[in-house]
Structure 1
């Protein structure tokens, strides 16, 4: 019943956007026009709340123009504001788990033998110290007894056999990078978390595609060094596929342009014992 009620509520919001019924604010971007609702867009994106509260014609005429943004990305932004998702969408069960992580702290999982496992893949020990900060990786691997504290980006084939499910083509990598940028620009509630999950899945599936380097460049050129959201995903992806990716000219250019990325990779490989 709860699921059906949520679907009905979602359908109502989608109908409000499609019909423009009860609209009290107009958003324009290029040739696109959206008849939206202040209660919805202002509560979901701080930019619109400030534009309505302190704006000139935004307050007088009930109109906000977005001339500097890409119409396609704005379309996806509006979709997210009204639906909590944007294309390409996550599978329903996976989306529910992403939403849950936005409000609930993550915790380590316990196995029936009472051990607590971290499931932090890929996992690396501290090879120069012959120790590990978190040795109970999963039910199939405990550092020390299984690896002699020599793990280097270990991933359990049983616990994590395949990349997570994903829909859509490889160019979604660029879409996600642009969505992260607009989420930061307009301070959109919850959007960054969803983008990170989608970008991570896309990188795991399409790391060998030409769009990866383009998306990585966009992520690094549109975020400050303090914002690790997509930057850490890019670093992790390159580290996992170092041998193949560093041979690509576009990735070499990426490492040359962004010294922070090159240093992060160097640090990751040092921590992994250069294996």
Structure 2
């Protein structure tokens, strides 16, 4: 029986990746030395140039680095660069074995990915960061991560910024408490990171506009307590609704519900 094509192909890819990964560990056949302070990485031009446009330009024969086989980096965190090279050879990196907490570390990985033009690394870092941010919103690293995001990464990096902003949206009442005492590290960061604060204000203003545009409705069913708010207006008669509380016949459309609008007592049972 002939081998299965898909499984054979997958096994071949796995073997290839294992072989490439082993090259970084063994340092066999290396032809490029990368220096950062007292740290040195012996890597392969063919690998790093395939993953990074920065190294393509650095290894070009017209430049000293290309002729001498040495590239010197500056103003980078060694652990971040180490993970960047690990990613180039393994398509993955571990954010749990560093001294920097994962939220902050992954922001720095994004900054390095953008600085050295490493394809797809920033996307992987954002996906990792997204795993941590919801549980870290009340911590100092969360605030520090936002500050670094808005000062060290590209303004066009919406996925990284939105990962933080969506969490801030959900916890805005706590983070921006009126006494400004519960999370002073966050509020101090927001005060000096103007671009972040402007984006938060714009998002909260939009949410408030949507909230104010909602109309309060009450189910016309006898003794049914269903009250809900919606942006649907009287003219929107094409949408049919069935009461989720009493199961009132779905033939009641929005214009019929509009007739039973009542003063809202503050208890929303359902928001449409």
TM norm. shorter chain > 0.5 = yes
Q: Structure 1 CA distance, aligned partners of 2:160 and 2:71?
A: 29
Paired residue for 1:59, among 63, 66, 71?
66
Give a deviation string over 1:200-258, Cα, whole Å, max 9, x none. 22112322222111111111111243332322222211111112222411111222112
State the Cα distance separating 1:169 from its structure 2 match: 9.4
Are 2:137 and 1:207 aligned? yes
State the Cα distance separating 1:273 from its structure 2 match: 2.5
Give a deviation string over 1:151-187, Cα, whole Å, max 9, x none. xxxxxxxxxxxxxxxx999811111111111111111
Q: Is the 8 A contact 2:144 2:189 kept in 1?
A: no
Question: CA distance change for structure 1 residues 5 and 245 in 2, over 3 Å: closer, same or farther?
Answer: farther
State the Cα distance separating 1:7 from its structure 2 match: 2.7
**Aligned residue for 2:203?**
268
State the Cα distance separating 1:18 from its structure 2 match: 0.9
State the Cα distance separating 1:199 from its structure 2 match: 1.5
Range with greater deviation from structure 2 (27-36 or 76-85): 27-36
Are 2:232 and 1:225 aligned? no
Are 2:36 and 1:22 aligned? no
**What SS does the corresponding residue of 1:273 show, helix, strand or coil?**
helix
State the Cα distance separating 1:54 from its structure 2 match: 5.4
Gaps of 5+ in 2: 1-6, 177-181, 212-272
State the Cα distance separating 1:42 from its structure 2 match: 0.7
**Given the two structures, how large is their TM-score scaled by the length of structure 1?**
0.66
Q: Structure 1 CA distance, aligned partners of 2:134 and 2:100?
A: 11
Gaps of 5+ in 1: 90-166
How many residue pairs end up in the alignment? 198
**Given the two structures, how large is their TM-score scaled by the length of structure 2?**
0.66
State the Cα distance separating 1:267 from its structure 2 match: 2.1
CA RMSD of aligned residues (A): 2.3
Q: Structure 1 CA distance, aligned partners of 2:135 and 2:12?
A: 34
Range with greater deviation from structure 2 (61-70 or 169-178): 169-178
Alignment map for 1:1-275 (pairs within 5 Å): 1=7, 2-53=9-60, 56-88=63-95, 171-246=101-176, 247-273=182-208
Range with greater deviation from structure 2 (26-35 or 38-47): 26-35
Q: Structure 1 CA distance, aligned partners of 2:100 and 2:108?
A: 14
**What SS does the corresponding residue of 2:135 show, helix, strand or coil?**
helix
Q: Structure 2 CA distance, aligned partners of 1:253 and 1:57?
A: 45
Greater RCO (Cα-Cα under 8 Å, separation 6 or more) = 1
Q: Is the 8 A contact 1:47 1:187 kept in 2?
A: yes
